[in-house]
Amino acid sequence: MKLSAIAEFLNGELAGDSKKEIKNVGKIESCSPDEITFISNPSYEKYFHTTKAGAIIVSKNFKIPESVSGMPSRVPLIRVEDPYMSFLKILEKFSAKIKLQKAGIHKSAVIHKSSKISKQNTGIGAHCYIGERCVIKKNVRILPNTVIMNDVEIGSNVLIYANVTIYHGCKIGDNSIIHSGSIIGSDGFGQAKNPDGTFTKIPQNGIVVLEDNVEIGSNCTIDRATMGETRICKGVKLDNQIQIAHNVYIGENTVIAAQAGIAGSTKIGKNCMIGGKAGIVGHIEICDNVIITAAANVSKSITAPGWYSGYRAVEQKKDLKKEVYVRNLENIVKRIEKLENKKDNMN
Amino acid sequence: MKLSAIAEFLNGELAGDSKKEIKNVGKIESCSPDEITFISNPSYEKYFHTTKAGAIIVSKNFKIPESVSGMPSRVPLIRVEDPYMSFLKILEKFSAKIKLQKAGIHKSAVIHKSSKISKQNTGIGAHCYIGERCVIKKNVRILPNTVIMNDVEIGSNVLIYANVTIYHGCKIGDNSIIHSGSIIGSDGFGQAKNPDGTFTKIPQNGIVVLEDNVEIGSNCTIDRATMGETRICKGVKLDNQIQIAHNVYIGENTVIAAQAGIAGSTKIGKNCMIGGKAGIVGHIEICDNVIITAAANVSKSITAPGWYSGYRAVEQKKDLKKEVYVRNLENIVKRIEKLENKKDNMN
Amino acid sequence: MKLSAIAEFLNGELAGDSKKEIKNVGKIESCSPDEITFISNPSYEKYFHTTKAGAIIVSKNFKIPESVSGMPSRVPLIRVEDPYMSFLKILEKFSAKIKLQKAGIHKSAVIHKSSKISKQNTGIGAHCYIGERCVIKKNVRILPNTVIMNDVEIGSNVLIYANVTIYHGCKIGDNSIIHSGSIIGSDGFGQAKNPDGTFTKIPQNGIVVLEDNVEIGSNCTIDRATMGETRICKGVKLDNQIQIAHNVYIGENTVIAAQAGIAGSTKIGKNCMIGGKAGIVGHIEICDNVIITAAANVSKSITAPGWYSGYRAVEQKKDLKKEVYVRNLENIVKRIEKLENKKDNMN
């Protein structure tokens, strides 16, 4: 892509060789001469004179830093309103060139005749299996070796990577992405204890619903409800290896980092952020706009927005205060010793 | 299913329209008119007059709560000895209607000719692979894209979901269930350090044995033994994303919640309950009837039944007491300050 | 394998029946008469007279323990320099007999014609998928149902188990092993927040590089870089269910135990050991030769070699000291009470 075309695409002002060919995007500290990069955060300006970039996206009022050599820089610049958002756009542009799966159905895929697969630009990869009575809409891509069981509904513009499993009856909303190895709709963990110590399996009869614009990372597990549904609302983004138990509800635009786990029937509000490895027990409610830090364990409902942290999570302010006291215990004991010694001296 | 048939199936007394058709089961607070629900816990009686259920399973001596309107309820009731167990039965009845996999071998499955697959109602799905010298007994269902390597033995009535991998030589007992994405028999993590800092792989020569009536959730990993076997005893139930290392032994009827991990050569007793995200180090023993709470980390053998909790797990009573003291540190310091001030005043 | 052949293979001295046939290796406490075992650690000498082993590998200067019965042992011995390393060799010898995958390409595999697969002893299993422009070198084994997307490079002597997914553009070094269910190169978790609370996906344009001699356990997830690469250096060994986020760098010969997670852009040094369930936040650096204990959470860069532990990891010495103080809090409070009482008595 020529620099002139990139400048036009970004609605920016180009200073430099308009015919230069750019082949990819890169980080300012490590990119190569056929890559474009950006400066948004001033702390990266130090790389301005050393970068090998073929071009840099900067803000309209960007001032070129002085070089140690005093020599003027010759790197082409594209000046835009918001360099970070412009860079995301061009990153997207280059990413879109990677075609992950052709439209059409691969001849090795096994698809039950009762399922309806859109013919409008939907592609199903090699060795996929699609069960009975499924509905798959337009512009969907399903990569090789993914298994979709009976009665699954998949909306438009959905991207499902390889080796995914979607159990019977689950529903996937428009524009959603599911990464490899994730399991949608496996049985919730329901076992009724018998008097002899053995367990009887409680049938898991519900489904999982992913609403629109949801992204699920790789090797996640989202269990079907015992009855009713496990629901992941629109705009929710999950990182990798996340466990969502049966009958959980996750509100709109909540994001969850890797290896977090949410136990059964818990309801998470909208716009929450849950850190990596965090654990949330079952049957509680987390209100909207809550931030749970990495590795925190939440065992009670949270009813006020804000930050929560700790091995037994509380408001972060309280948690950090407690930690300060604990780290100060050696001094506390010294103070007691001093008092005891004075005592002794006095007696 | 007609209400009369359900009442008969549950050996209950029906009061209401015996010809009513019930299509599914549901939760009392959210079910629809063609679903049946139940009341076992009195805290759900508040929904009695507002539920849209087509029928409710209640106990023999259930008293209909008064309605605000004073109008009598018209919802059909089925009175039984134990509403919860009766509900599980009917839940099971409706679940059984979902046929996950036909009997017979799908033509796209690849099965080595030296393997013996029962012809009595065993079904193997599309794109499955079954290696050499395997034995698979009757009433087994293996869903699409599952891989079973050489010399694996699978008992009767086993259900293996899609995209499962079972490594060579492992044994799966009767009536077991393995959910999607789980890996049975991958190599244990054995690496011998060389003087130059590199590692030499220690071959993992053993197997994994799942005894009868075991259930494994989705995306679990159970490693084969270095020598001998990793053994999951009968009736053990694992939730999702659980890691069981090489040479671990898990006693009968122990249940383990999601994302827990057990390190190498550890032996867990019978009838234990291990909470989600709990971690147990290698080479220790946990006796029978131990309950380890969620996110607890166990680093020493446990020799007495009971509850254990905490980041460094101890008896839960001790752990909670410690926590109370820690939360009280601000007050403790205030008491010291008071003593110090009195001191000063005295000097 | 005859004992004489084993003794020769190990360059050891055999005392006993040289024609005895050994069929496998075993643990001294549980092996059978056709298995060979070893004694390296003196604590296992107690099994010398009770083991059923067909032969025992011992050190050159091993002294036969006295038996209770006074009867001399008749078990054949092979005396070697280093019994443990010799045992690993013979373990390897027996393991090598298990052939996991034949050379050649299974007829059900789908391989794009633009990909180059070595004909020198490389084997690709049933239902594998290999995308466009891949290069796979000699002596590689790829087990059934593994998916390799476009533009992937795989070195020589690589072993990839079943149901693995490798995303487009990733590179796998020579002699590496990837266990089942692992996902190499899924998108990093990058989401830019919009003013309305929704998120825009940040394209993940980089790759994952595994250098030579890397081993990845089962159900791991290693995300591709946003730009550039996520790099796992040579000799790194990962256990199961490990999460490596985008742009992470892991130095040579570092080993990581199961269920650990490393957040984005963090750099781990060489020769580190990271315990199971440990968590490391993003954008920090861990220097060489650091040991992080199981379940530790690291939130700051570590600049000195040594042991680190704790829910909020610090140097292990500090962490354990803090823990001692916390456990002693009941006594601390008693000492304060005593001081307060004396005070009261004095007033």
Measured from the Cβ of residue C261, the count of other Cβ atoms closer than 10 Å reads 29
Q: Point out which residues pair with C116 in neighbouring strands.
A: C135
Q: Look up tokens 């949410």; give the residue.
A: A262
Opening angle at CA B287, ends B281 and B288, nearest 5: 130
Least confident of A138-152, A324-338, C175-189, C331-345: C331-345
How do residues C262-321 score in pLDDT, each as one tens digit?
A: 999 999 999 999 999 999 999 999 999 999 999 999 999 999 999 999 999 999 999 999
Strands B123-124 and B141-142: parallel
Q: Six-digit token pair at C167? A: 């995303």
- Cα–Cα nearest to A125, from C147, B128, B114: C147
The tens digit of pLDDT for each residue in B296-305 reads 999 999 999 9
pLDDT at residue C347 greater than cutoff 60: no
Q: Are C144 and C159 in contact (CB under 8 A)?
A: no
Which of B92, B125, B276 lies nearest to residue A203, judging by beta carbons?
B92
Position B70 scores a pLDDT of 72
Q: Does residue A340 carry a pLDDT above 60?
A: yes
Mean pLDDT to the nearest integer, C2-8: 95
The answer, as to whether pTM is greater than 0.80, is yes
CB nearest to B145's CB, from A129, A281, A335: A129
% residues pLDDT > 90 (chain B): 82
Q: How many CB pairs below 8 Å do chains A and B form together? A: 176
**pLDDT given for residue A93 in this prediction:** 86
Residue A144's alpha-carbon distances to A148, B89, C102, C111, C159, in angstroms, are 12, 38, 22, 12, 20
User: What average pLDDT does range B172-194 have in this prediction?
Assistant: 97
> Between these two residues, C117 and C99, which has the higher pLDDT value?
C117
Q: Is the pLDDT of residue C346 over 70?
A: no
pLDDT band at A97 (very low <50, low <70, confident <90, very high): low
pLDDT of residue B345: 60
Question: A219–C163: do the CB atoms touch at under 8 Å?
Answer: no
Please determine, for residue C223, whether its predicted confidence score (pLDDT) is greater than 80. Answer: yes
Chain B stretch 285-314, residues whose beta carbon is closer than 8 A to a beta carbon of chain A: 294-295, 311
- Percent residues over pLDDT 90 in chain C: 82
Say yes or no to pLDDT of A344 above 80: no
C244 touching A (Cβ < 8 Å): no
pLDDT tens sequence across C27-39: 898 888 999 999 9
Q: Report the percentage of chain A scoring pLDDT > 70.
A: 98
Residue B59: its pLDDT value, please?
A: 95
Q: Residue B201: its pLDDT value, please?
A: 94
* Model pLDDT for residues A104-155, shown as the tens digit of each residue: 999 999 999 999 999 999 999 999 999 999 999 999 999 999 999 999 999 9
Task: Dump pLDDT digits (tens) for A189-242.
Answer: 999 999 999 999 999 999 999 999 999 999 999 999 999 999 999 999 999 999
- Tracing tokens 């089961």 back to the chain, one arrives at B25
pLDDT score for A94 = 83
Domains in chain A, CATH or no CATH each: 3-95 (3.40.1390.10), 105-320 (2.160.10.10)
Q: In terms of C-beta distances under 8 Å and separation of at least 24 residues, what long-range contacts does C41-45 make, across chains too?
A: none
Place C176 in a pLDDT band, splitting at 50, 70 and 90.
Answer: very high
Q: What is the 3-state secondary structure (H, E, C) of A97-108?
A: CCCCCCCEECCC
Percent of chain B, pLDDT > 70?
98
Alpha-carbon gap, residue B22 to A238, rounded angstroms: 37
Flag if C94 and B203 touch (Cβ within 8 Å). yes
Q: How far is CA A78 from CA A17, A86, C140, in A?
A: 11, 10, 46
Nearest residue in B to A164, CA atom: B163
State the catalytic residues of A: 246
Residue scoring higher pLDDT (C98 or B90):
B90
Binned at pLDDT 50, 70 and 90, residue A346 comes out as low
pLDDT score of C31: 87
Q: What is the mean pLDDT of the segment spanning B181-185?
A: 98
Mean pLDDT (whole number) for A157-170: 98
* Mean pLDDT, residues C338-345: 73
- For residue B220, the chain A residues in CB contact (below 8 A) are none
> What is the percent of chain A with per-residue pLDDT over 90, rounded to a whole number?
82
Q: Which chains does chain C touch, 3 or more C-beta pairs < 8 A?
A: A, B
Q: Which two tokens stand for residue B29?
A: 């607070």
**Chain mean pLDDT for chain B:** 94
